[in-house]
Amino acid sequence: MRIVLSFIVVLFCSMPLCAQNELSEEAMRLKIDSLENTFKYTHGEITLQGGIGKITVPDGFKYLEPVQAEKVLVEVWGNPAGKNLTLGLILREHQGIIADTGYVFNIQYDEIGYVDDNDADKINYDDLLKQMKEETIEENKERKKGGFEPIEVVGWAASPFYDKSRKILHWAKEFKFGGQEVNTLNYNIRVLGRKGVIVLNAIATINDLPAVNRDINQVLDIVKFSDGFQYKDYDSKVDKVAAWTIGGLVAGKVLAKVGFLALILKFWKIIALAVVGAFTLFKKKIFGSKKEETPIDQSIPPSNYNNETPL
């Protein structure tokens, strides 16, 4: 957050605010555009680092490669730097990095081993949700000691669904982060492979859930493991079995090892909203008006995700 606030200060202080140098709304917009224009996006097919898989960017989307993606995560959104932070970002074609609507999928690879999916048909997700809520209440005691705001697991924003034939697990949680008025959406996809999982996390506000639901069927097909790294390539003689099963992935156990600071990444949207909120407030003071929100691109028809049968 400190980095983002610094960015706001630099953004505003770099503009003449005194009477003799009158600030125009167009000049302020150009400052935002200049930041957006520093990022160069890719389309088509991209090979992931290490050759573990490929990304196929569908129509209506764009991809930001790892070096630029890490700059966004750390320098723009204020997340702590770390290893394996990103393999790139996926976002809608007409959406910018600093946007008050929309979502971004962060791609990662976690080499946790081969995830046994034998428990997929046995999980009671209502019980799992109750357990997660109880654990979060206990974890909030530690967050408070560390100076973090409490987090509440509100519930499922999308019930967990495991496609056993494609080895793809996806679900969404709704969080309340501290005193924020708008709840946070944490939409998760895990593509199971021979030695680990490809992770796609869409972090947005709960207001963006309809947009994610609309696009989810396309997003599920964006990343695929290469031959030799696929789930079917597992060799019990040489490959490690993960400590987590399907239920563990949904509960978030695989993320526990990165500690509390990883939660900042999950709530980048709140940070982005802080930028936009400060920007809007500043404009109101100067111009007495608010810029109209850009409507969501409707070029892709709604998906049938909500018609899927949950576990």
pLDDT at 182: 87
Rama region for 80: left / alpha / beta (φ>0; ψ in -120 to 50; rest): beta
pLDDT band for 36, please (50, 70, 90 cuts): confident
Query: Distance between CA 141 and CA 127 in Å, rounded?
Result: 22
User: Is the predicted pLDDT of residue 10 greater than 90, yes or no?
Assistant: no
Burial class (CB in 10 A: 0-12, 13-18, 19+), 269: buried
47: how many CB neighbours lie within 10 A of its CB?
Answer: 11
Closest to 95 (Cα-Cα) out of 294, 283, 271:
294
pLDDT at 188: 92
pLDDT in tens, 100-135: 678 899 999 999 999 999 999 999 999 999 999 998
Radius of gyration of the chain (CA): 20
The CATH code of the domain at 43-269 is 3.40.1000.10
Percent of the chain with pLDDT over 70: 72
pLDDT at 125: 94
45: how many CB neighbours lie within 10 A of its CB?
Answer: 10
User: Is the predicted pLDDT of residue 227 greater than 90, yes or no?
Assistant: yes
pLDDT at 33: 79
pLDDT at 24: 65
What count of residues does the chain have? 311
User: Is the predicted pLDDT of residue 223 greater than 60, yes or no?
Assistant: yes
User: Is the predicted pLDDT of residue 41 greater than 60, yes or no?
Assistant: yes
The DSSP symbol for 39 reads -
Residue range 172-196: mean pLDDT, rounded? 90
3-state secondary structure 56-93: EECCCEEEECHHHHHHHHHHHCCCCCCCCCCCEEEEEC
Higher pLDDT, 51 or 271: 51
Query: Distance between CA 8 and CA 276 in Å, rounded?
Result: 10
The whole-chain average pLDDT of the chain stands at 77
CB contact at 8 A, 37 and 21 = no
pLDDT at 122: 92
pLDDT at 78: 72
Q: Which residue has the tokens 């003799």?
A: 20
**Of the listed ranges 134-148, 179-193, 269-283, the one predicted with least confidence:** 269-283
CB contact at 8 A, 212 and 103 = yes
Query: Distance between CA 48 and CA 70 in Å, rounded?
Result: 15
CB contact at 8 A, 217 and 302 = no
Report how far apart, in Å, the C-alpha atoms of 96 and of each of 15, 123, 203, 269 are. 22, 38, 14, 13
φ/ψ of 131, rounded to 5, equals -65, -45
From first CA to last CA, the distance across the chain in angstroms is 38
pLDDT at 300: 30
Tokens (6 digits) for 21: 């140098």
Tokens (6 digits) for 246: 């399907």
pLDDT band for 69, please (50, 70, 90 cuts): very high
Q: Is the pTM of this model over 0.85?
A: no
User: Is the predicted pLDDT of residue 267 greater than 80, yes or no?
Assistant: no
User: Is the predicted pLDDT of residue 304 greater than 50, yes or no?
Assistant: no
- Residues linked to residue 108 through DSSP beta bridges, in sequence order: 199
pLDDT at 184: 86
Where do the DSSP E strands lie in the chain? 44-47, 53-57, 61-64, 88-92, 104-110, 151-163, 168-177, 184-192, 197-205, 223-225
User: Is the predicted pLDDT of residue 20 greater than 90, yes or no?
Assistant: no
